[in-house]
Structure 1
Amino acid sequence: MNEQHLEGYLHLVQALLSCPSGEEAAILNANSELLDAGLVQVMTQVAENLAENGDKNAADFLQSVATQIIELVEKPSTTESQQDLTFLLQVLQVVSDTDADPRVFYQFLQSNLDKLDVKLSAVLQELATTLLSEANAEKAESVVSVICNFGNLIQQFPLGRINVNIELAIVAYQIGLSFFKREFYPENWALCQKNLGRAYNHRIIGQRSENLELAIKCYQEALQVYTRATFPQEWASLQNSLANAYSDRTLGVRSDNLEQAICGYQSALQIYTLTDFPAQWATTQNNLGTAYKSRIRGDKAENLEKAIGCYQAALEVRSREAFPEQWAATQNNLATVYRDRILGNRAENLETAISCYQYALQVYTRETFPSDWAMIINNVGIAYQDRIFGEKAENLENAIGCYQAALEVRSREAFPEQWAATQ
């Protein structure tokens, strides 16, 4: 190793150790010509010196980077794949350095949106395999914890492509489950199962029916640890999530799935009381109302009355002032039940439905929520089409106006199914 190369390696190492968090990837990319076996040798020596002097975090970071450079040196790869590895290393470092602070992490991701790509899922798996193969038990647990925290953060990241974020989260939780075995880490294992189930429930890639089955399986696994007696809040949360999955399930018998959903919501409400957990109670009441609205078993009229009761209960907490979006969503749900209601006066039910839809439109405007606005405008059209009060001709003109307005958003290109329904 000549003196010039050694000086370059040392300068690069110092730059990595002293730069602000988030800039390491740019530094490595700018010095790609130095990413070779010589740099690995220098990094390893510096890391050993740092560890001897008590700076374990810096030593671990350098050793992790050195490990990845070894992979790049030993395996021919493109510049793009090198950048992916470097970027993911930096991502995990930011999660670790900030204790998974979402504000700092999301700011970092926002400045690197162009690097978030679905191929990173495979890169993350390879990276984890490499890091864990060379780590002792304590270090391995720390690495996996960071990866799982990354999964939590990326799944909730509001920017970028949702499908990419969810796929990365799924890989992160799968890595977690490969390390956190139930017999040794029951709570970590259950938490990974719960989070993985949530990711599958929202997954875009793959068949919706298959993803829901995977979600249900994960939730059921988590419930083996999160029992009502030992973890009542987690148990209630899982009951609600499992009920949501059964409510949306396409495989199996639809009537059975809805009964499972109703049972799950009712179980969650044993813990989620109005007094102790008002927000969760209201959400579960809203979800239970939707299940009753769709219920196949039992008396249809009675089921719709139960749905109305659930929605009205949810609105005790979901006020427009405190929860405007949730208030509007429940108003829309309540309107749809009144539109289909069997008991009571048909004409009055339709007037109530129209009023509830109009309440919802106070929040779901075309400018802020175009898709939801179009859905509700379409629903208002249906109510006017069936309306009994008022002039029939005027009601039909109002219905036509609503459908035409909905089609301004529900284009054939953007929303083909909704476009066809409104047509």
Structure 2
Amino acid sequence: MTVAENRAAWLETELTRVDGQSPRDTGSAPLGKHLKMAGNPFVFLRGAAQLFYADIQAGYLQLPEALYTLPKTRIMGDCHTSNFGFFTEEGSHGERVVFAPNDFDDACVGHAVWDMARFAVSLVLCAEYCRGLSKGEFPQVPGDKDYAGKARVKADAAEKAVRRFLEGYQQRCDMLIASPDYHQQVLADFPDDHILSKPFNKARARAAGGADFLIKSALAKAVDVDAVTLRFRDRADKFQRVSADTYQQLEQTFAPYMDDTVLDIVARLDAGTGSVNMGRYYLLVGPADYQGPQDLSLCHIVEVKQQRKAAPLFYFDDLSPVNRLNPAHLTLECQRRMQRFPDLVLDEAEYDGQHWLVRSRHHAKVGLDPENVALGKKARKGGFEEYAETCGHALALAHGRGDRRSVRFEQAVTGVLPAHSEAFVQACMEYAQRVREDWTLLNQMLAREV
């Protein structure tokens, strides 16, 4: 077999192991997850976190050894440009909108350099995707805006952004060392000329009491807020009604974790990318005597999501005893450590023989797609690099909170990172090419031309 054939066979094995179906399977329809991943290399990276860690273990991604000497900390595990965003602290119970990591499904105790590298690779693929989208090289997502001809980041923006990301990460570590209340810092102020000012204001408007709470919040989008009896909207593309027996079982299992009465339950369909094939339910929670729109701020949505083993732990199972926690408990533990004020409704439970994470859906949640940070005049004029630097600050804060007793982690970063930044950048730029090649192989397995 050729090198490409060997890689394709290995890729098929890994995708089948995690997703339960081979991309070559002609006996059934392709998985929606695989079709999503085939869309472009950036989404491919998002959907296959396990490949990233397999390549680290195999030596295909060789990061500077000195960066592995940093103290282990809680890491995101699936760190990329679209796993940062805006939300309110303490979930839907809070009022302050912050910018921070927002996905912990693959979180564990591990090496900070893994998060840093995965984010850096995603920057490269994010920029390339948006440049291609503007030039008509990638298909438009049905129902999305037409991005053909839109201002796009320059060809050298990706490498500049990776460097700005590292600068932001180190700057925040320096700030944390100098500040006695380092673990209480958050990113919650974005001036009008910042790339994140628009989504920041959008998030604040969606929070309870905000101008768009009744029309744009996570609650308003999912629930018929004008109905006398509050319930989820009838949306066949997103929600599926569950049987009476399933409803009863779900309510019996998860009601003890709620902060109010369960008003309605639906199955959530086709959400996420890497976890698109995992079970997920939405529970509408609020006062049993709900009186109408005046009580909406007392209601919120709780997501109950099936968890599986964090991606890094398939290949590195001896990093820390903490990682022996069940998958949902580990996600919960890491999120609580990495956020300043985590959701008030955040727990884990067993249901149907699986481990499930219980967490609030933030009213003000605003995520960031590649188009939000790498397309448009502001992005082209340095906004993309500005976004990368901001994520560097946010990630350093999250990593630093792994140890709230000292700043030993931050001191280690400032002592090691500067001398090895160049080697780190080059390793990540080269690995982005491997992701592109794997994306092509997936499309070939699905018999799609690219």
TM-score over 0.5 for the pair:
no
Q: TM-score range by the shorter chain?
A: under 0.3
Q: Which has the higher helix share?
A: 1
Structure of larger gyration radius: 1
Structure with larger RCO (C-alpha < 8 A, sep 6+): 2
With normalisation by structure 1, the TM-score equals 0.26
With normalisation by structure 2, the TM-score equals 0.25
